[in-house]
């Protein structure tokens, strides 16, 4: 992609991700800062409600239906917030007068530097959005985005068309689609293609991480100096989100990005206890679960202890707080009914058991040093900043931040179970995250910057006390010109802090994050420029309603996301419940002798077959139904070839429907 298209894609992604949520939160009488910082969580809730509503009515999911959904949801929220305002009747500004203007400048500059770090890592590793991610999960996510952008069907059931089209009708299908529906709007609005829109959405995560953390730390009454220092390192944790990217775990990464905004909404809502606050939280919770079903357990781990701490903190009005929490939970359950019904239809298909990769001792060490099980990703410098801060969070002045420390340690414990322990208990505790150590390593890092803030806030507090005890030093400071205590000086101080970080450990962690993603962000082997050329050739030859016979293991499933051509196998995983797909993958080359193969080819209107070089890591080899097409020239005519792609046309009398 050229620079113009990259900028356009990012701009579209930012507007689509922030405008709906910001509008709804302003109508809920939240402050501007909170409305902007928490907007992505509410936007995904709006997307979830919109795709559900318009799917039931048979209307297409577009930017216009997103706008209409935002107007409807915003109107309902405004009416509820005005009718049952709770303890406060004006805009919620609790906890937002803590920072001076100079402090706000310091936070803004350091926050911008953190966003820039994430942007530069990703723009480099994606080669300006030109890389097609190579690993297992990415192809399904990209095909799902293309499907929604092309058809306007944003429902979870609709995604059966990607790879489960022939089996879903008889057994049910459900795949959370809010993430894909959001990114599909960027693809359609900016006209940058599926891959470009997917990359642009990743860029929004760095903005959301920084804004969410800044708001959370302000809410927890942490000073501007501590907050700014924490933001500097906030996008340098390799486990979050970089290690999730090479695997293509985009919906999961998006879901945990939304956790912090929801936690902040919970804290503010518990203080004001308005029904409008409860409704906004319910909408956001609907969004996170509709992005990834583990969102509910991620919220429980990272936010559950905080709920208890809030009840303890407000024990003098515990009855009204408990009532408000019950109302919030009730509204959330009501909004999640479609998700629950969808999950019930596929019950039993969710668990996966990854084998343990480390000993228990190594797993604990890896957790405390923010590593992962695959490579040496230990980050000692960050751990030295985080762990003392987690201890200091138990000081009374930071209450209820100690609850977040408990949450982080809980997430670390889950990571240890996943990476070091093979047992039924481990699978029970970590099953909703697919027993995946990468997902849990990321979860453990979500709240970590908060404790960097606590550490530096404490250091700053001690420094101020020491200065005040020194009469001579205090007198000298009072003589300093006011111009040297201005917002400009705060900005310079922030840049100096950023420079110190960059020199001391920033460059090392930049490279570490880059190489973590680069592991599968390459030009091949699964999707190379030559393979893309072959997909473009298929685009010119294949009709809109036809499917192309392909192998699920060679990268050809990407043909839909890249060229709009529908494959028989739309994912690296086979649809084991589809007799038709399995039949073709195992026996397609027997079409001349088998009537059942001919019937399947006719049913799917298959005229062409494609074979690409290589198979994805972990596959046993090429599917037997496509391993010798080149030896049957009377049945399969070679019509296109490059060093990595061969396209065959089926003999007309054996091909799909006319």
pLDDT, residue 89, reads 42
Tokens matching residue 402 = 């100690």
What number of CA atoms fall less than 13 Å from residue 212's CA on the CB side?
Answer: 28
pLDDT at 484: 46
Say if residue 34 is in the same domain as residue 149. yes
Q: Is residue 16, in this structure, part of any structural domain at all?
A: yes
CATH classification of the domain holding 621: 3.40.50
Res 100: pLDDT: 85
Note the pLDDT of residue 91: 46
Q: 282 in a domain, yes or no? A: yes
**Is residue 395 domain-shared with residue 543, that is, in the same domain?**
no
Structural domain count, the chain: 2
Same domain as 535, residue 427: no
Report the SS3 class of residue 200.
Answer: helix
Which ranges of 152-249 does DSSP label H, i.e. alpha helix? 160-163, 168-171, 178-190, 193-219, 224-233, 243-245
Domain boundary, last residue among 393, 413, 442: 442
Is the Cβ–Cβ distance between 248 and 141 less than 8 Å?
yes
- Give yes or no for a contact between 270 and 322, defined as CB atoms under 8 angstroms apart: no
Q: Is residue 507 part of a domain?
A: no
Confidence of residue 478 (pLDDT cuts 50, 70, 90): low
**Straight-line distance from the first to the last Cα atom of the chain, in angstroms, rounded to the nearest whole number:** 38
Quick check: is 404 in a domain?
yes
Q: Check whether residue 550 and residue 424 sit in a common domain.
A: no
Q: Which domain holds residue 67?
A: 4-89+98-442
Query: How much is the pLDDT for 449?
Result: 97
Query: Looking at the predicted structure, is the pLDDT value of residue 436 above 80?
Result: yes
Residues 407 and 286 in one domain: yes
Neighbours of 451 (CB within 10 A): 25
Claim to verify: residue 43 and residue 178 sit in the same structural domain: yes
Give 572-585 pLDDT, tens digit per residue: 998 888 889 999 99
Report CA 365 to chain centroid distance, whole Å: 26
419 contacts: CB under 8 Å, gap ≥ 6 = 356, 357, 358, 363, 366, 367, 372, 373, 437, 440, 441
Q: Tell me, what's the pLDDT at 369?
A: 94
Is 535 in the same domain as 424? Answer: no
Same domain as 551, residue 407 = no
Confidence band of 271 (pLDDT split at 50, 70, 90): confident
Span 297-318, average pLDDT = 91
Domain boundary among 442, 472, 498: 442
Check residue 482 and give its pLDDT.
Answer: 56
Alpha-carbon distance values, 259 to 168, 303, 340, 533 (Å): 32, 8, 20, 40
Q: What share of the chain is helix, strand, coil (3-state, %, to 5)?
A: 70, 5, 30
Tokens, residue 355:
């084998």
Comparing 7-21, 90-104, 257-271, 592-606, which segment has the lowest mean pLDDT? 90-104
Q: Are strands 636-642 and 606-612 parallel, antiparallel or unpaired?
A: unpaired
Domain end, chosen from 442, 462, 480, is at 442
Name residue 608's beta-bridge partners.
Answer: 649
Nearest CA-CA partner of 253 in 410, 33, 436: 436
pLDDT at 180 over 50: yes
Model confidence pLDDT, tens digit, residues 368-398: 999 987 776 789 999 999 999 999 999 888 8
Bridge partner list, 567: 548
The string of DSSP codes covering 427-442 is HHHHGGGTT-HHHHHH
Chain mean pLDDT for the chain: 90
Mean pLDDT of 332-354: 80
Assessment of whether the complete model's pTM goes beyond 0.85: yes
Asked if the structure places residue 193 within a domain, the reply is yes
- Is 80 exceeded by the pLDDT of residue 539? yes
CA pair distance 476, 365, nearest whole angstrom: 47
Report if residue 209 sits inside a domain.
yes
Contact present, 219 and 265 (Cβ < 8 Å)? no
pLDDT of residue 351: 55
Partners of 642 in the beta sheet?
645
Query: Does a structural domain hold residue 451?
Result: no
In a domain, 473, yes or no: no
Q: Are residues 429 and 548 in the same domain?
A: no
Check whether 443 has a pLDDT greater than 70. Answer: yes
Residues contacting residue 638 through CB under 8 Å, at least 6 positions apart: 630, 646, 647, 648
Q: What is the pLDDT of residue 448?
A: 97
Question: Confidence band (pLDDT; 50, 70, 90) for 23?
Answer: very high
């Amino acid at each position: 992609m050229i620079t113009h298209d990259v900028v356009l894609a990012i701009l579209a992604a930012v507007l689509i991700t922030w405008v709906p949520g910001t509008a709804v939160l302003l109508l809920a009488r939240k402050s501007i800062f909170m409305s902007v910082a928490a907007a992505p969580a509410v936007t995904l809730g709006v997307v979830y409600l919109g795709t559900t509503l318009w799917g039931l009515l048979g209307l297409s999911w577009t930017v216009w239906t997103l706008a209409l959904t935002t107007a409807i949801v915003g109107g309902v929220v405004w009416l509820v917030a005005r009718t049952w305002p709770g303890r406060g009747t004006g805009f919620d500004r609790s906890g937002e007068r803590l920072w001076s203007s100079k402090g706000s400048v310091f936070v803004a500059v350091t926050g911008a530097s953190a966003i820039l770090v994430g942007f530069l890592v990703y723009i480099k590793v994606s080669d300006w959005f030109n890389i097609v991610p190579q690993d297992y999960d990415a192809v399904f996510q990209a095909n799902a985005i293309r499907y929604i952008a092309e058809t306007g069907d944003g429902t979870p059931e609709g995604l059966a068309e990607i790879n489960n089209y022939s089996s879903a009708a008889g057994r049910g299908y459900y795949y959370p689609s809010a993430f894909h529906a959001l990114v599909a709007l960027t693809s359609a609005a900016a006209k940058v293609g599926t891959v470009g829109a997917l990359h642009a959405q990743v860029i929004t995560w760095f903005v959301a991480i920084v804004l969410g953390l800044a708001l959370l730390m302000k809410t927890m009454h942490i000073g501007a100096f501590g907050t700014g220092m924490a933001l500097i390192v906030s996008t340098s944790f390799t486990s979050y989100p970089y290690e999730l990217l090479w695997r293509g775990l985009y919906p999961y990464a998006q879901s945990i990005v939304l956790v912090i905004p929801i936690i902040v909404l919970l804290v503010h809502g518990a203080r004001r206890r308005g029904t409008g606050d409860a409704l906004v939280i319910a909408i956001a919770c609907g969004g996170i679960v509709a992005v990834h079903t583990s969102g509910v357990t991620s919220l429980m781990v990272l936010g559950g202890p905080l709920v208890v701490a809030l009840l303890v903190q407000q024990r003098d009005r515990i009855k009204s707080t408990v009532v408000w929490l019950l109302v919030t939970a009730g509204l959330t359950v009501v909004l999640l009914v479609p998700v629950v019904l969808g999950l019930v239809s596929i019950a039993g298909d969710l668990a996966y058991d990854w084998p343990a990769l480390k000993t228990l001792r190594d797993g604990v060490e890896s957790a405390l040093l923010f590593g992962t099980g695959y490579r040496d990703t230990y980050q000692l410098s960050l751990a030295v900043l985080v762990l003392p801060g987690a201890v200091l969070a138990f000081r009374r002045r930071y209450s209820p931040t100690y609850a977040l420390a408990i949450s982080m340690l809980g997430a670390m414990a889950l990571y240890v179970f996943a990476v070091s322990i093979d047992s039924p208990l481990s699978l029970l505790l970590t099953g909703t995250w697919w027993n995946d150590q990468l997902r849990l390593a990321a979860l453990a890092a979500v709240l970590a910057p908060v404790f960097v803030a606590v550490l530096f806030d404490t250091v700053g507090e001690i420094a101020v006390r020491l200065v005040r005890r020194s009469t001579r030093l205090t007198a000298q400071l009072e003589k300093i010109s006011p111009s040297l205590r201005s917002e400009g000086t705060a900005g310079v101080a922030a840049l100096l802090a950023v420079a110190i970080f960059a020199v001391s450990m920033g460059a090392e962690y930049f490279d570490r994050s880059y190489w973590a993603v680069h592991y599968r962000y390459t030009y091949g082997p699964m999707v190379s420029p030559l393979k893309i050329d072959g997909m473009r050739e298929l685009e010119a030859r294949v009709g809109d309603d036809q499917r192309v016979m392909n192998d699920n293991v060679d990268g050809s499933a990407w043909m839909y996301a890249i060229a709009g051509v529908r494959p028989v196998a739309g994912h690296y995983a086979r649809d084991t419940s589809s007799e038709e797909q399995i039949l073709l993958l195992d026996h397609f080359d027997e079409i001349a002798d088998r009537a059942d193969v001919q019937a399947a080819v006719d049913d799917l209107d298959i005229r062409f077959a494609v074979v690409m070089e290589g198979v994805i890591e972990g596959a046993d080899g090429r599917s037997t139904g496509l391993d010798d097409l080149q030896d049957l020239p009377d049945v399969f005519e070679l019509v296109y070839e490059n060093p990595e792609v061969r396209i065959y046309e089926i003999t007309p009398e054996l091909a799909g429907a006319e």
